[in-house]
């Protein structure tokens, strides 16, 4: 009995000695740490609201509940922030990049000043993926069918600025649908462009269907415009409103695989949204913790409520895997990249 008692005391002593080590090994890495989110935008805008909606919920899904702070690094359409995350910050799991929508296109199109490689970054997902686009003409232009639109010469297409998504969408519609000598008029804000269309300063514009329904529902109710084609951005994405339900996707007008890949490139650029990323070399276990935390954030009703409150639309998140797959499958052929640059540039559209 004495021997058994001694053995038991020895075992208890050993367990007591090892307990602090075991407990310490189970302490989450992020407990007591601070994560810095490098945001490639200025504070206060829509892009900042997207980031804030994510950050406000993300913390509670990271084991250890670290502090999260946002560091604003605007410049170059997000390139300054992306370069900083990619090259200048330690890949220790304590730096996350919150990139604007131009981040992926700049990386693929080899924009001036890009020092990052989109294939080497680690993706956490995006809170908002792309919305579809529709091509609109004013009723008084008399272009009430695709045939009439394609047969007209010199259709004036309005947009905000060269490179703006609305400009790019309008140019892709015009190119793939074969509009004759289309003219592109820029310099408007979104609401100004709506007025310009109705006043006859421009004949056509691209826009997001949800924006039309929210801002210009009377266009549909009063028959002030015609709708001609659709650019689906997310796969299987269809709009249920009758005004858009019967429209063909613009790829129905494509003449070649190269033109279809041009549209696919635009879709993917829009669909990648505003990615959250980690620097290359971030330890795998820490990256996995943050990826899982982001998945839980996107599933959390609190995030959906906060996003809608701050951004005024429903979130359309993509998981880390969905975002990685999009970027992996993005068309990269040099001839497609060159065509995209020409179609979305400031010169007349290239010949088909």
Beta-carbon count within 10 A of 74 CB: 17
As a whole number of angstroms, the distance between CA 88 and CA 164 comes to 29
pLDDT classification of 245: cutoffs 50, 70, 90: confident
The residue ranges of every structural domain in the chain are 34-128+273-318, 133-269+336-343
Q: Under CATH, which architecture does the 34-128+273-318 domain have?
A: 3-Layer(aba) Sandwich (3.40)
Q: Is 133-269+336-343 in the same CATH topology as 34-128+273-318?
A: yes
Token digits of residue 124: 């956490």
pLDDT score for 335: 96
Report the pLDDT averaged over residues 301-307: 96
Given a contact cutoff of 8 angstroms between Cβ atoms, the answer to whether 298 and 127 are in contact is yes
Q: Is the pLDDT of residue 14 over 90?
A: no
The mean per-residue pLDDT over the stretch 267-272 comes to 93
pLDDT, position 237: 64
Grade residue 303 by pLDDT with cuts at 50, 70 and 90. very high
> pLDDT at position 7, please?
56
Confidence of residue 238 (pLDDT cuts 50, 70, 90): low
**Nearest in space to 290 (alpha carbons), one of 279, 301, 302:** 279
**133-269+336-343 to CATH, choices 3.40.190.10, 3.40.920.10, 1.10.132.20, 1.10.3470.10:** 3.40.190.10
């Amino acid at each position: 009995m004495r021997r058994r008692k001694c053995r038991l005391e020895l075992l208890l002593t050993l367990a007591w000695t090892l307990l602090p080590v075991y407990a310490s090994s189970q302490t989450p890495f992020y407990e007591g740490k601070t994560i810095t989110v490098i945001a490639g935008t200025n504070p206060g805008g829509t892009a900042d609201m997207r980031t804030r909606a994510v950050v406000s919920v993300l913390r509670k899904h990271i084991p250890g509940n670290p502090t999260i702070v946002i560091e604003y690094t605007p410049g170059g359409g997000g390139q300054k922030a992306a370069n900083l995350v990619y090259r200048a910050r330690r890949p220790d799991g304590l730096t996350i990049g919150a990139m604007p929508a131009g981040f992926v296109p700049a990386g693929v199109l080899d924009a001036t000043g890009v020092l990052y490689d989109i294939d080497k970054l680690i993706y956490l997902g995006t809170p908002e993926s792309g919305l579809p686009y529709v091509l609109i003409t004013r009723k008084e232009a008399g272009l009430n069918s695709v045939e009439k639109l394609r047969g007209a010469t010199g259709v004036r297409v309005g947009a905000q600025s060269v490179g703006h998504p609305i400009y790019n969408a309008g140019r892709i519609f015009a190119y793939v649908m074969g509009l004759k000598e289309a003219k592109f008029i820029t310099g408007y804000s979104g609401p100004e462009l709506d007025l310009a269309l109705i006043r006859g300063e421009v004949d056509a514009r691209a826009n997001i269907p949800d924006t039309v329904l929210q801002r210009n529902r009377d266009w549909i109710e009063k028959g002030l415009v015609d709708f001609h084609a659709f650019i689906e951005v997310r796969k299987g994405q269809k709009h249920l409103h009758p005004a858009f339900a019967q429209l063909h996707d613009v790829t129905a007008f494509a003449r070649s695989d190269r033109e279809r890949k041009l549209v696919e490139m635009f879709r993917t650029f829009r669909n990648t949204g505003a990615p959250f990323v980690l620097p290359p070399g971030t330890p795998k276990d820490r990256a996995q913790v943050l990826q899982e935390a982001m998945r839980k954030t996107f599933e959390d009703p609190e995030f959906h409520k906060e996003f809608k409150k701050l951004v005024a639309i429903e979130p359309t998140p993509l998981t880390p895997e969905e975002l990685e797959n999009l970027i992996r499958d993005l068309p990269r052929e040099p001839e497609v990249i060159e065509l995209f640059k020409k179609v979305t540039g400031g010169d007349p559209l290239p010949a088909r």
